[in-house]
Structure 1
Amino acid sequence: MAVVELEIRDSIAVVTLNRPEKLNAMDTEMAVRLIDSFEQIRESSDIRVAILTGAGTNAFCAGGDLGAAIPLLTGERPATDPLETRWLKIRGDGGPFKTDIGKPMIAAVNGHAVAGGMELVLNTDIRVSVPGATYGIPEVKVGLFPGGGSTVRLREQISFAQAMNILLTGDPITAQQALDFGLINYIVEPSDLMDKAMDIASKIAANAPLAVQAVRNSVRACQGRPESEALDIETEYSLKVHDTADAKEGPKAFLEKRRPNFQGR
């Protein structure tokens, strides 16, 4: 059984964390396989959008496996095989929590997303959640640092005060609170979760892929930059998109009242 499953549905990649018996907690193998999947998505010109979800009904991802992965991270024990050695290198570079696939990614949060699980959510662009999911960064409760992007991304994605409350107390928030804070986009019933995520993904995939990627990447590249610098970055993305064949095809199709045939070039 693969601990990370990658399924391609036309131009949509569905990545599933598959350790439901461990609440999809991330051990070394899952971390390595997940980053491999992300790299495959980034390199494939056929994939336009990705969905990240978890197996089972209890957890999206419960963070790092405290018994398998955390002792390596803290230096309590050394790596004992090539997989663990590679995981340490990946973790030192930010791991899957900081990997940028260069394309939109939707989180279909099927259950609790805490610690590294929430950090995976923070690295996605659109979030759909089941009502019973909780979100939290509890690392301070066990003497750890949330080094998968939490102290950078959370304060940018919700208010400073709410972010600091979550980070410093380590207490979880409900799906409804996450929606109220603007951390997630939708709450749907579990039976509708993947349908909703696929519906969003299909709408994105139908758009011009180079334009979609440029818009998404421009937003990320401009975060935290002074306005003048950010506007220059935006202009660079804009000029590149307007020099593509798709930029000519889109307006032409609109005027001819037909669906555009975007080729990603």
Structure 2
Amino acid sequence: MGGTEHLTVQREGATLVLTLNRPEARNALSLPMLVGLYDGWVEADEDDTVRSIVLTGAGGAFCAGMDLKALAGDGMAGDQYRDRLRDDPDLHWKAMLRHHRPRKPVIAAVEGPCVAGGTEILQGTDIRVAAESATFGLFEVRRGLFPVGGSTVRLPRQIPRTHALEMLLTGRPYSAAEAAAIGLIGHVVPDGTALDAALEIAERVNACGPLAVEAVKASVYETAEMTETGGLAAELARGMPVFDTADAQEGARAFAEKRPPVFKRA
């Protein structure tokens, strides 16, 4: 199991939990964190016993975005990882889910600040849970910067355009209640319980047929920009093979026998 000094990895049953672990900096992005994140996505993709991923942050914060102090000074720490960036110049975008989409569902568990790069990573997740005191926002324009993590493209596709433009152009913070009202997050829970709530959702995902889950996720994203006619054709191409799997047969048997199914990813 991977991980770095700023990204911890642990298993909770069939769920891989990735924790941004730089609490003294409110989990601001660092090179060790980005390397650990990317390795975590790859580990989840390659391990068939992993059925879901939960992304969270340590110390009561999710992610405060880019480390502006490091950017203004000598740059981000983690020289020992720079060869990874040289070998794969796209690694940081894959880590932030800009240029990589894991096969398994990714559930965000947000406590505290989830701003700038944190809100950008959030847009690459599939299901989102936040604590009542969590805060969101894209602050880049306030610093004279541009949110190049994908927000000018993704945010207007995920929430109504008027809300996306207000978030992008004002750089103001949003409460968890506001974020839920505009559709950026799906659940608001008491402080300190976001991870538990995310793991509960992950357990529900894990109880489903893994081949079906992955096919459904893939279909949702690959048809998003298609016409309805094209999307429906792509859905059939993606979905019909699922009916021919042993897991589909097991699901039907388990229903008839009134027992939980035992899926084998086959």
With the length of structure 2 as denominator, give the TM-score of the two structures.
0.91
The Cα of 1:86 is off from its aligned counterpart by 3.0
Distance change in 2, residues 1:125/1:100 (3 Å): same
Secondary structure at 1:190's aligned position in 2?
coil
Q: For the aligned residues, what is the CA RMSD? A: 2.2
Match of 1:130 in 2: 131
Residue aligning to 1:10: 13
Alignment partner of 1:192 is 2:193 = yes
Query: Which residue of 49, 52, 55 corresponds with 2:55?
Result: 52
Q: Partner of 2:174 in structure 1?
A: 173
> Among residues 66, 69, 75, which one is paired with 1:67 in the alignment?
69
1:84 to 82, 103, 119: 82
1:26-69 Cα deviation digits (max 9, x unpaired): 01111111111111111110000011000012x2000111233x
The letter for the 1-side match of 2:107 is: I
Matched residue pairs, number?
Answer: 260
Q: Is the 8 A contact 1:4 1:15 kept in 2?
A: yes
Distance 1:80 1:189 in 2: 35
Query: What is the DSSP-based 3-state SS (H/G/I as helix, E as strand, rest coil) of the residue aligned with 2:11?
Result: strand
Write the deviation string for residues 177-217 of structure 1: whole angstroms up to 9, x where unpaired.
00111111111112322221111110110010110111111
Task: Report the CA distance shift for 1:179/1:210 in structure 2 as closer, same or farther (over 3 A).
Answer: same
1:118 CA displacement: 0.6
SS in 1 for 2:68: coil
| Map 1:192-211 → 2, pairs under 5 A | 192-211=193-212
* 1:143 Cα deviation after fit: 2.2
Q: 2:18 aligned with 1:20, yes or no?
A: no
For 1:95 and 1:158, locate their aligned partners in 2 and report how far apart those are by CA, in whole Å. Answer: 23
Contact (CA 8 Å) 1:126, 1:184: kept in 2 or not?
A: yes
Matches within 5 A, 1:107-126: 107-126=108-127
- Tell me if the contact between 1:4 and 1:17 (Cα under 8 Å) persists in the aligned partners: yes
Q: Secondary structure at the match of 2:109?
A: strand
Q: Distance in 1 between matches of 2:43 and 2:255?
A: 33
In structure 2, the residue matched to 1:32 is 35
Relative to 1, partners in 2 of residues 1:206 and 1:79: Cα closer, same or farther, differing over 3 Å? closer
Q: Is the CA contact (8 Å cut-off) linking 1:95 and 1:148 kept in structure 2?
A: no
Structure 1 range deviating more: 221-230 or 101-110? 221-230
**Secondary structure of the equivalent of 1:46?**
coil
User: Structure 1: 5+ residue runs without aligned partners?
Assistant: none
In structure 2, the partner of 1:220 is 221
- Greater displacement, 111-120 / 220-229: 220-229
Q: TM-score, normalised by structure 1?
A: 0.91
Quickly say closer, same or farther: Cα 1:156–1:48, change in 2 above 3 A. Answer: same
Q: 1:92 to 1:34 in 2, by over 3 A?
A: closer
- Quote the sequence identity (%): 42
Q: CA deviation at 1:77?
A: 7.3
Q: Cα deviations across residues 153-186 of structure 1 (Å, max 9, x unaligned)? A: 2111110100011111111211110011111111
